[in-house]
A and B are shown apart, each in its own frame.
Chain A
Amino acid sequence: MRPFHTDKNKFDKNKDANGDTMSDVTDATTAKNAPTPDDALRISDSKASGPVLAADGTPLKKSLKRALRAQKLRALALIAPLLIFILITFIAPIGDMLFRSVENQIVSSTLQNTVVELEDWDPAGADIPGEPTFEALYWDLFLAAEAKEHTKLGTRLNYEETGVSSLFRGVGRGIDDFGEDQVEALEDFDPVWEDEMFWYTLMSGGDGAEQNSRHLSAARERLTTLTTDDFIGSAGFVPGAEISELLPRTISEYSTFALFTVFADEDVVAEEEPWEAVKVSLIQELTSGVDLAGYSGPGAAELRAAQDMLADQPAIDFKQAFLDDDEDWADSGLWETIKLYSPPFTTGYFLKAVDLQKTVGGVEAVPDGEKIYGTLFKRTLFMSMVIMGSCILLGYPIAWILANLPVRTANLLLILVLLPFWTSLLVRTSAWKVMLQQQGVINDILVWLGMIADDSRLVMINNQFGTIVAMTHILLPFMILPMYSVMQTIPQTYLRAAKSLGATNWTAFWRVYFPQSIPGIGAGSILVFILSIGYYITPEIVGGTTGTFISNRIAYHISSSLNWGLAAALGSILLAAVLILYWAYDKIVGIDNVKLG
């Protein structure tokens, strides 16, 4: 008793010192000076807050932390499997999805040179890009076609501009023949240009020559960026230092060829004739007036002869070659698209997901006829609201009855609520198809009762009505269960008290019972709304065209159109919408008030 008394006196002094602030916590039910259980709390609060030391002199906080560390580690180890599982199966895919919705590296990694050239091109001008851009496009597409990456890019750009896919596919077949006149002329002039060993010696500078691997590593990076494979290891080829100085473009192309031959085709460089792009690059460099006077390495004579011969040949016109392949290459819209989507990250998917598009003039709304996603989002939200509302209306009385019945009866009825829960989703949805279709059970009964004519059967499926009916039925347990668990905790005494105070049955319910059941409604509503906003199977089966949700569109882009970027953007917007709603709910109702059971 004694120490308690000392503390008690201390407390009383405190109370005197700041009488006003303390007086409102004084327990009015006890005599003022009698200790109540709360006093102990207040006393411990009012103690001075210096660093408290443990028995061995270490600060108490530190020694407490040490004591708790083992516990924390053990707890972490216990949840680790689940944590890892969630990270791998949930967090990582969501992160991947968010990334995909803005990711656009395919353009810049496939058209590495073109993208650089296009930086200076003004899409607002009247002309399509000039020869240098087409030349760059030639280098990019030649390699992409060899590595079979050009069709992927074609598919990607086709989302933005229809026809690009076939354009790329076509050029992939024809690009080997670009500049074939000049290449043939070279080969006819001296067959040594078809000799793989000659090329190898020329490019590597011969035995014992000084070497320069700069172009080789550049080529390695170019290939890695394009294919995402790695090209690490010995290629059996290193460019000669002197020839690298003299013919950098050719060396660069030959290095790329060499790496690709070794690592992708698994052949030996010296035994393979270089591909056309190497020869085209040599022709380009020789005709551009490179000074061979000081060169004395292998093939010097052949190079000089070839340069002399090529002086009489017409220059290679890449632009014309592309236009000959397909005149769509002259379409400025194509070039605008390539330029707009050349950055590694794009807002294009998100803009498209909200019925906007990127143009050279900035962001614009898509033409009215092409707007789909805005309508779909609005419809999804509206129908989710309707489904939530009907679940509340249908679920509340059921939950109320369940909560007020004797436990045994309630459990029996709860099984009826849960029974559909345990049935396959597909089966339930299909059952609604049977019920609601024009030759279905409900229509048959109505016709039999004579309420509708046989030739004017109601259309209740493949529209919004069908989706709402089926989904309300499917999601009802998610509404009833949280409501039931909340209502169970509301004692009947409250209603009795309200009635004893003079409230009618309705007033007692509305003013006393209903407000206390709101957490259950809130929990159910959040569950139902969030589930229905992302629902897929049921709208797919019974929704027809007017009753489908945004998730059906997402599924379409995932599995049919393969536009995963757009699907990811739509999904991200859906996720954001759910999070915003959750946040808003937390602000308005308070998430603490939600009881899920």
Chain B
Amino acid sequence: MTDSQSSDAFVAFERVQKSYDGENLVVKDLNLSIPKGEFLTMLGPSGSGKTTCLMMLAGFETATHGSILLDGVSINNIPPHKRGIGMVFQNYALFPHMTVAENLSFPLEVRKIGKSDREAKVKRALDMVQMGDFGGRRPAQLSGGQQQRIALARALVFEPELVLMDEPLGALDKQLREHMQFEITKLAHDLGITTVYVTHDQTEALTMSDRVAVFDDGRIQQIDAPDTLYESPKNSFVAQFIGENNTLTGVVKKISDGLCEVELDDGEVIDCKAVNVSDVGERTLVSIRPERVEYDPSRLKEGTHTIKAEVLDFVYMGDIFRTKLRVAGNDDFVIKTRNAPDQRRLKPGEMIEIGWLPEDCRALEAR
């Protein structure tokens, strides 16, 4: 939607729509282009259309309208097995009746690659995921993480230029997951392959991707690099969906030079960055990240506007403190502070003054 079509796009969705029942559109007018070598993540809640997009790209679903281009060629009518796209499935889909080596050999066999070539490629792929000794095992004899590696190796063994991954880490525990996130990203960049990764886990999306496309309601809400996405969400859905976020509601009083004044529901007036508001008098949702809120006067910039807050709860989390406040009638206002040696620990019931920079306080559309 916001992404302009570029001529060097390796994968491109052009005005793609998809409906299963002829009544509801699951994907509404999707435009997306992915340059070669990019790691793009499709992020969104379930039912947002991200998996459908991936399946259309893989060829398992047909687009109801529009066209999908791969390297400049429309692949709408090319069956999945001729697209040459590697794919890692949610539950790995390793063939249980074949050994690991046979699983990896399968895509090479159907491509009629000679035996010695095949063995060399299988070995290389296994070594690539550090599973060289496991060729003779059956998938059921491997742990989840090992299966995940094999699935990855199988998707890469025939050297595709595009690899699709459908929530591949969903079944792993946290520790393994973080480890695999790192490995997949590294592998994708080392091999220079274009990757489209689908997930509903925003941490995963932020840590792994070059760009993240946030899906909701069949549309891409925002597509940007992870830092931009986090720090400059373009609408309140993205702001809410990515990371933790505090919201305050109010009415726009004045807009000038990208800044605006918002009168909160309790009468307090704050300065905000006008992101998705256009008219004075409009209702707005103000979004502030918990780690950008300060309560230590020495850390606040001179002249920063402050408002009163009551401490409701204080949680010690090791590296950070998580404090719950009541701000302008909102009982769920959370702030996070680093566990620095000089940091003061707040007590429930305490009344404090909090403040933030106007740039960190984004006025978005009310939903």
Give A residues with C-beta under 8 Å from B.
Answer: 24, 27-31, 34, 36, 38, 491, 493-494, 496-505, 507-508, 511-512, 515-516
Given contacts A503-B106, A503-B107, 11 further A-B contacts (CB under 8 A): A27-B146, A28-B145, A29-B176, A30-B176, A34-B175, A491-B93, A496-B93, A500-B87, A501-B86, A501-B158, A512-B106
Give B residues with C-beta under 8 Å from A.
Answer: 58-60, 79-87, 89-91, 93, 95-97, 106-107, 110-111, 130-131, 133-134, 143-146, 148-149, 154-155, 158, 164, 175-176, 179-180
Asked if residues A500 and B86 are in contact (CB atoms below 8 Å), the reply is yes
**Shortest Cβ distance from A15 into chain B, in angstroms?**
16
Highest count of chain B CB atoms <10 Å: which of A24, A498, A504: A498
Chain B contacts of A503 at CB under 8 A?
81, 106-107, 110
Asked if residues A491 and B81 are in contact (CB atoms below 8 Å), the reply is no
The one of B93, B155, B164 in contact with A494, judged by C-beta atoms closer than 8 angstroms, is B93
Q: A29-B179, A30-B176, A493-B91 are in contact. Are A498 and B106 (CB under 8 A)?
A: yes
**Shortest Cβ distance from A25 into chain B, in angstroms?**
10
Asked if residues A502 and B145 are in contact (CB atoms below 8 Å), the reply is no
**Shortest Cβ distance from B51 into chain A, in angstroms?**
12
- Kindly report which residue of chain B lies nearest to residue A514, judged by CB atoms: B97
Asked if residues A500 and B81 are in contact (CB atoms below 8 Å), the reply is yes
Chain A contacts of B59 at CB under 8 A?
499-500
C-alpha spacing A429/B130, complex, angstroms: 62
C-alpha spacing A500/B166, complex, angstroms: 13
Residue pairs across A and B with Cβ atoms less than 8 A apart, 24 shown, are: A28-B146, A28-B149, A29-B144, A29-B176, A30-B145, A31-B179, A36-B143, A491-B91, A493-B93, A494-B95, A496-B93, A497-B87, A499-B80, A500-B87, A500-B155, A501-B110, A501-B155, A502-B82, A502-B107, A504-B110, A507-B110, A508-B81, A512-B95, A516-B97
C-alpha spacing A496/B80, complex, angstroms: 8
Chain B contacts of A24 at CB under 8 A?
133
Chain A contacts of B60 at CB under 8 A?
496, 499
Asked if residues B175 and A38 are in contact (CB atoms below 8 Å), the reply is no
C-alpha spacing A561/B153, complex, angstroms: 70
Chain A contacts of B131 at CB under 8 A?
28
Asked if residues B179 and A30 are in contact (CB atoms below 8 Å), the reply is yes
Chain A contacts of B58 at CB under 8 A?
496, 500
C-alpha spacing A242/B267, complex, angstroms: 139
Chain B contacts of A516 at CB under 8 A?
95-97
Q: A24-B133, A28-B131 are in contact. Are A500 and B146 (CB under 8 A)?
A: no
Chain B contacts of A29 at CB under 8 A?
143-146, 148-149, 176, 179-180
Chain A contacts of B107 at CB under 8 A?
501-503
Chain A contacts of B144 at CB under 8 A?
29
C-alpha spacing A504/B146, complex, angstroms: 28
The one of B80, B95, B133 in contact with A500, judged by C-beta atoms closer than 8 angstroms, is B80
Chain A contacts of B85 at CB under 8 A?
500
C-alpha spacing A498/B80, complex, angstroms: 10
Chain B contacts of A496 at CB under 8 A?
58, 60, 80, 87, 89, 93
The one of A31, A38, A491, A501 in contact with B106, judged by C-beta atoms closer than 8 angstroms, is A501
C-alpha spacing A496/B90, complex, angstroms: 12
Chain A contacts of B95 at CB under 8 A?
494, 497-498, 512, 516
The 10 lowest CB-CB distance pairs between A and B, nearest first, are A29-B145, A497-B93, A501-B107, A500-B87, A493-B93, A499-B80, A515-B97, A503-B110, A499-B81, A502-B110
- Kindly report which residue of chain A lies nearest to residue B146, judged by CB atoms: A29
C-alpha spacing A28/B106, complex, angstroms: 23
**Shortest Cβ distance from A577 into chain B, in angstroms?**
30
**Shortest Cβ distance from B54 into chain A, in angstroms?**
11
Chain A contacts of B87 at CB under 8 A?
496-497, 500-501
C-alpha spacing A502/B59, complex, angstroms: 12
Asked if residues B80 and A511 are in contact (CB atoms below 8 Å), the reply is no
Chain A contacts of B91 at CB under 8 A?
491, 493
Chain A contacts of B148 at CB under 8 A?
29
Highest count of chain B CB atoms <10 Å: which of A501, A507, A508, A515: A501
C-alpha spacing A502/B86, complex, angstroms: 9
Chain A contacts of B93 at CB under 8 A?
491, 493-494, 496-497
Asked if residues B89 and A497 are in contact (CB atoms below 8 Å), the reply is yes
- Kindly report which residue of chain A lies nearest to residue B94, judged by CB atoms: A497
Chain A contacts of B96 at CB under 8 A?
516
C-alpha spacing A511/B154, complex, angstroms: 16
